[in-house]
């Protein structure tokens, strides 16, 4: 049946009413008055300043009074001389891996998804507005956060960590046959935490699997690790050709490969194969740090702590090796001015405040202002390596600048002088804003 002229006219006028409303709908605005700004780059705070947020972007920054645009629904926050700074970012975390290993191995996906959602909310409420997730099935959670169905930080997901048989991400039972020999999927593969692969063809498939699911970058394990059962941080994993396969597939999609690697040989083999980011690197020497500088490679590292029970004696020994190397690596990285990002490798830690505590300890190697720059502006530069796969391009991340995303913290005190402030977010982070929305306001 053809629609009548009358019904077409009704639809036409209804469409125009909706369009007109969309064009004139009031914008949301938040005005921060009398704040001192850490912009993510400078070493000192600004004099008293005003910052206007319209919708999800920073519109105006001025020492003079700012007029709120007409037709906006507005919130005015009296800063009282507090510090306004970018939200914090973690370049290496695992939102889906915060339950204990025993809970993960039970494989209750519903329970694990609920735990991941709670972890994401905890991270945001502790001031972490962006994270790079480096292994785990967080694609649906990211989608839910971006659409407003869940609360949490922006997520740059990697999907499964790609590992070789007996590698860092292979948690198969020792006697289990590899899949190539007719064996079953390991528990890590069943839960989409890891992909256990061997040879160029399987590496290509695993990489493309993650890209199909929405990975913004690819992660390989090219050395042994601490938590894994069958290797040590000194082991070299994947051949050069296998690593190149991942690099080629990721490059075809406009993004990069980041590798879990602690030791010299694994790092150099990875870089020569085209890898652009090294995760960890605590067992490197100074010539290799200079090599990373000359090759324009990012080092995304962490400040780890010694392990104790319930970790096994083998894991405790391996962690000790890593911790003993980290001070030299931080020293050499800063002396050689390499591209340095920071994360926590946050996992098996249900208390999200551990991220804040680990950040506060970075003054062992650098000034508070340098540490804050690293977890705001610098991490954001690393995230941008994902190129056309970057899901957040409307504004800049990690800075307080006009046109940047309004991911902001209003903080008691001056964290560029006293980094201990960040260790107690419940007390010291008075306002938490992400994407122009206020999630906490205790003023």
Give which of 282, 280, 277 is closest to 297, Cα–Cα.
277
Residues forming a β-bridge with 51: 32, 61
- Residues ≥6 apart with Cβ < 8 Å to 291: 268, 271
CA distances from 398 to 88, 109, 357, 375 (A): 8, 33, 20, 8
Contact 155, 142 (CB under 8 A): yes
The pair of structure tokens assigned to 138 is 């967080």
In DSSP notation, 307-370 reads --TTS-HHHHHHHHHHHHHHHHHHHHHHHTT-EEEE---B-S---TTHHHHHHHGGGGTS-HHH
Taking CB atoms within 8 Å and a gap of at least 24, the contacts of 236-240 are 236/263, 236/265, 236/266, 236/269, 237/163, 237/164, 237/167, 237/168, 237/266, 238/164, 238/167, 238/203, 240/269, 240/272, 240/273
CA distances from 240 to 15, 275, 294, 304 (A): 58, 11, 20, 28
Contact 419, 413 (CB under 8 A): no
Give which of 199, 205, 265 is closest to 238, Cα–Cα.
199
Helix or strand or coil: residue 278? strand
- Chunked into runs of 10 residues, the chain (443 residues) has average pLDDT values of 48 41 61 98 97 98 94 93 98 91 84 94 97 97 98 98 95 89 92 96 98 98 90 96 98 98 98 98 97 98 89 90 93 98 81 87 97 98 98 98 98 98 98 98 97
Q: Ramachandran region of residue 34, left (φ > 0), alpha (ψ -120 to 50) or beta?
A: left
Helix axes 286-295, 264-272, angle to 10 degrees: 10
Provide the pLDDT for residue 77.
97
Put simply, whether the predicted model's pTM sits higher than 0.75 gets the answer: yes
Helix axes 313-335, 286-295, angle to 10 degrees: 60
Provide the pLDDT for residue 358.
95
CB atoms within 10 A of CB 428: 21
Residues forming a β-bridge with 432: 409, 440
CA distance linking residue 73 with residue 430, whole number of Å:
22
Provide the pLDDT for residue 357.
95
CB atoms within 10 A of CB 24: 8
CA distance linking residue 311 with residue 375, whole number of Å:
29
Residues forming a β-bridge with 151: none
CA distance linking residue 170 with residue 228, whole number of Å:
7
CA distance linking residue 89 with residue 156, whole number of Å:
11
DSSP 8-state assignment for residue 46? P
């Amino acid at each position: 049946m053809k629609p009548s002229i009358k019904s077409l006219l009704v639809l036409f006028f209804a469409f125009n009413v909706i369009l007109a409303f969309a064009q004139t709908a009031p914008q949301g605005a938040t005005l921060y008055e009398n704040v001192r700004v850490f912009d993510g780059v400078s070493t000192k705070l600004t004099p008293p300043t005003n910052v206007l947020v319209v919708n999800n972007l920073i519109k105006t920054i001025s020492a003079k009074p700012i007029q709120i645009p007409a037709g906006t629904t507005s919130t005015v926050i009296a800063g009282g001389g507090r510090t306004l700074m970018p939200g914090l970012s973690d370049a290496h975390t695992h939102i889906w891996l915060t339950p204990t290993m025993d809970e993960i191995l039970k494989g209750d996906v519903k329970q694990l998804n609920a735990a991941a959602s709670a972890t994401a909310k905890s991270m945001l409420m502790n001031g972490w507005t962006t994270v790079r997730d480096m292994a785990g099935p967080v694609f649906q959670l990211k989608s839910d956060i971006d659409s407003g169905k869940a609360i949490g930080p922006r997520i740059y997901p990697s999907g499964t960590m790609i590992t070789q048989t007996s590698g860092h991400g292979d948690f198969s039972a020792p006697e289990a046959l590899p899949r190539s020999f007719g064996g079953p999927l390991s528990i890590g593969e069943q839960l989409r935490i890891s992909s256990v692969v061997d040879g160029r063809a399987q590496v290509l498939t695993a990489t493309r699997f993650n890209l199909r699911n929405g990975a913004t970058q690819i992660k390989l394990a090219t050395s042994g690790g601490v938590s894994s059962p069958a290797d040590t941080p000194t082991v070299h994993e994947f051949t050069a050709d296998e690593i190149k396969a991942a690099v080629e597939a990721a490059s075809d999609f406009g993004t990069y490969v980041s590798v879990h690697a602690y030791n010299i040989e694994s790092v150099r083999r990875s870089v020569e194969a085209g890898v652009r980011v090294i995760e960890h690197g605590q067992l490197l020497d100074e010539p290799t740090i200079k090599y990373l500088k000359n090759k324009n490679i990012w080092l995304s590292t962490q400040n780890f702590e010694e392990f104790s029970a319930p970790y096994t004696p083998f894991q405790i020994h391996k962690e000790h090796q890593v911790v003993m190397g980290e001070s030299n690596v931080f020293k050499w990285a800063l002396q050689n001015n390499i591209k340095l990002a920071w994360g926590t490798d946050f996992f098996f830690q249900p208390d999200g405040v551990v991220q804040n505590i680990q950040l506060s300890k970075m003054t062992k190697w650098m000034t508070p202002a340098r540490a804050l720059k690293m977890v705001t502006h610098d991490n954001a530069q690393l995230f941008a390596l994902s190129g056309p796969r970057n899901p957040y391009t409307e504004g800049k991340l990690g800075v307080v600048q006009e046109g940047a995303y309004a991911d902001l913290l209003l903080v008691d005190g001056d964290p560029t002088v006293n980094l201990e402030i960040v260790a107690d977010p419940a007390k010291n982070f008075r306002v938490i804003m992400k994407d122009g929305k206020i999630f906490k306001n205790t003023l």
